[in-house]
């Protein structure tokens, strides 16, 4: 599965550098329009139209993406020589990996969520059942982060800026339609606020550091790249496990 080059989606009216407010608005617009909550597969999940087995397939494949997040954040940390930036950003790794002092992180909580749907957590953690297409897009994302500048790599983490409302909708759907207990949703309830905080910090950094139109355009392309990763994951799951195989429209919009 090939991730489209985000730069091909950018429509440039001129080469003038955008003001901070214009640039932030552009990032928000692209991220909101291309966010994976618009994917038809997610629409089915919100509406309770997935079978338990289809939900399980999504969970075990999405788990692979979650395991890549601390790796991505470690790559971003290594790009910065600013101790203050690193102190802030390292919190993202702790949120996924936990602290080792009884504070489970997001990866452990994803396994509990999978267990609550009837999956075997050890099987999910092994990643044996992850689709090749999912591996491809997630690993390509790590390669993108590895070869990008710091500001582009941070821009490729901006989907957090648009995750709070969709995450809240996920929680409601999981509880209402699939009977998942509140105790396994506690981490995700906390993540609604943390995602908002992380997104605001990342957006402020990108807007501050992207000082030319060329760099601004590359940051928009990096954000689009990340939306392609998450939509590509859902494409792969849809193709493999939904009989009707509904897919998003061109450009990442449904």
Q: List pLDDT tens digits, range 123-146.
A: 999 999 999 999 999 999 999 999
Question: Is 5 within the bounds of a domain?
Answer: no
Q: What is the DSSP letter of 127?
A: T
Which residue is listed with tokens 């989907």? 159
Task: Give the side-chain half-sphere CA count within 13 A for 183.
Answer: 3
Question: Is 21 within the bounds of a domain?
Answer: yes
SS3 label, residue 48:
coil
pLDDT of residue 139: 96
User: How many domains would you assign to the chain?
Assistant: 1
At 154-205, the pLDDT tens digits run 999 998 766 666 777 788 888 889 888 878 887 777 777 777 888 889 999 9
pTM value? 0.87
Question: Is 106 within the bounds of a domain?
Answer: yes
Judge contact between 253 and 38, C-beta under 8 A: yes
Question: Residue 61: which domain range?
Answer: 17-252
- Among residues 44, 47, 53, 46, the alpha carbon closest in space to that of 246 is found at 44
Question: Is 30 within the bounds of a domain?
Answer: yes
Rounded distance between C-alpha atoms, residue 95 and residue 104, angstroms: 8
Q: What is the CATH number of the domain that holds 54?
A: 1.20.910.10
Rounded distance between C-alpha atoms, residue 118 and residue 114, angstroms: 7
């Amino acid at each position: 599965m090939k991730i489209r080059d985000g730069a091909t989606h950018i429509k440039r009216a001129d080469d003038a550098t955008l003001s901070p407010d214009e640039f932030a608005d552009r990032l928000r617009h692209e991220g909101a329009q291309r966010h994976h909550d618009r994917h038809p597969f997610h629409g089915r999940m919100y509406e309770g139209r997935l079978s338990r087995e289809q939900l399980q397939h999504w969970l075990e494949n999405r788990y692979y993406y979650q395991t890549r997040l601390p790796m991505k954040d470690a790559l971003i940390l290594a790009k910065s020589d600013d101790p203050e930036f690193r102190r802030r950003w390292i919190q993202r790794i702790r949120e996924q990996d936990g602290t080792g002092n009884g504070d489970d992180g997001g990866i452990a909580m994803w396994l509990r969520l999978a267990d609550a749907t009837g999956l075997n957590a050890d099987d999910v953690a092994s990643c044996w059942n992850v689709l090749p297409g999912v591996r491809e897009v997630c690993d390509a994302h790590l390669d993108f982060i590895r070869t990008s500048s710091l500001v582009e790599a941070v821009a490729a983490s901006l989907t957090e800026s648009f995750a709070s409302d969709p995450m809240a909708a996920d929680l409601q759907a999981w509880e209402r339609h699939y009977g998942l207990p509140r105790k396994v949703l506690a981490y995700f309830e906390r993540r609604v606020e943390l995602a908002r905080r992380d997104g605001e910090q990342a957006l402020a950094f990108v807007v501050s550091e992207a000082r030319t139109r060329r760099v601004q355009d590359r940051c928009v392309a990096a954000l689009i790249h990340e939306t392609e990763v998450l939509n590509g994951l859902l494409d792969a799951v849809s193709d493999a496990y939904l009989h009707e195989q509904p897919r998003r429209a061109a450009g990442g919009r449904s």
